[in-house]
Amino acid sequence: MTAEPAAAAAARLLGERCRTDHPLGARTTYRVGGAAAAFFTIEDEADLALVSRTVGETDVAVLVVGKGSNLLVADAGFPGLALALGPGFATVALEGTSVTAGGGTDLPVLARRTAAAGLHGLEWAVGIPGSVGGGVRMNAGGHGADMASRLVGVRVLSLRTGHDEAVTLDALRLGYRRSAIAPDQVVVSAEFRVEPGDAEVARAEVDAVVRWRREHQPGGQNAGSVFTNPPGDAAGRLVEAAGCRGLRWGSAQVSPKHANFIQSRPGGSADDVAELIAEVRRRVFSTTGVDLRPEVHFVGFASSAGAVAQS
């Protein structure tokens, strides 16, 4: 008798709320790519416990999806269990100069809520189209600040072991677009320190970030910066120096507006995006000797997508 696939077993244990063959690429900002074998939205603490038991029993591969702003899902899809935090984890609580936000909270919402309360320090987050949990995982940042500059600590749950703990800032080991958060861990909530100030000034700073993004970065289907900046240089400059601005590969194109962005056409192919990332890396390496490292997280690809010879 053939063993039941792990994703199918997980879907059975999670019950009727678990969706099978669920479009996953459509949940990303690239809006291309395939389906997840199983998909479940975690609505409350009981769901967290249920998912943890299920993952432990089935050993299914898991993917925690925030707002999909840093994911590229292969056209073949993801053969495991994809998970998202529901509205119950999209909360913001203000107490003095301490802000606690649920892992499913939109970063732009967090920025606007704190600014409206006259609290300074998170205005930059209005330009990050991700969630608090995803932002912690990749130490998201922009405009001279990042999560590490304001984080106090986080609550993290291991979906594979059920271990639930408070993790300090030091233990997160936050660096440039990286952290110690493992793929099978979910950031349930995060605490930030902010500073009291003037709401009108804070809102003006939020508006300035929004204006800058609109003026300097492309719209459409993209995942923000494709490559991390190498020490002392800018990835976009290197891509342009290698002659890749505007370069096309099937349904994907390096943005003519900003060379560190790749855009996908509606109805396009995630595999085209991955091939273009790899081609840009090859050309930059050939031209400059610098091996650019993708910020994009590749999901469901059979081999190291975006590789020169993936981070």
Angstrom distance (rounded) from CA 153 to CA 140: 15
Q: CA nearest 130: which of 149, 146, 118, 119?
A: 146
Q: CA nearest 108: which of 92, 87, 96, 93?
A: 92
Catalytic residue flag (residue 95): no
Which position among 123, 191, 205, 295 bears the catalytic label? 295
Reduced DSSP (H G I as helix, E B as strand, rest coil) percent helix, strand, coil of the chain, to 5: 35, 25, 40
Which position among 69, 225, 251, 255 bears the catalytic label? 225
Catalytic residue flag (residue 237): no
The answer to whether the beta carbons of residues 45 and 28 sit under 8 Å apart is: no
Q: What backbone phi and psi angles, to 5 degrees, belong to 173? A: 50, 55
**Residue 128 in tokens:** 């990050």
In the chain, beta strands by DSSP E: 19-23, 35-42, 62-64, 71-73, 78-85, 92-95, 98-102, 119-120, 141-142, 145-146, 151-158, 164-168, 185-193, 195-196, 248-249, 252-254, 262-264, 297-299
Which position among 177, 213, 283, 293 bears the catalytic label? 177
Angstrom distance (rounded) from CA 164 to CA 43: 17
Q: CA nearest 226: which of 258, 182, 183?
A: 258
Angstrom distance (rounded) from CA 72 to CA 69: 9
Q: Could you tell me the CA-to-CA distances from 5 to 60, 74, 185, 272 in Å, in that order?
A: 9, 20, 22, 29
Task: Assign 298 to helix, strand or coil.
Answer: strand
Angstrom distance (rounded) from CA 276 to CA 283: 10
Catalytic residue flag (residue 295): yes
Q: Which residues are catalytic?
A: 177, 225, 295
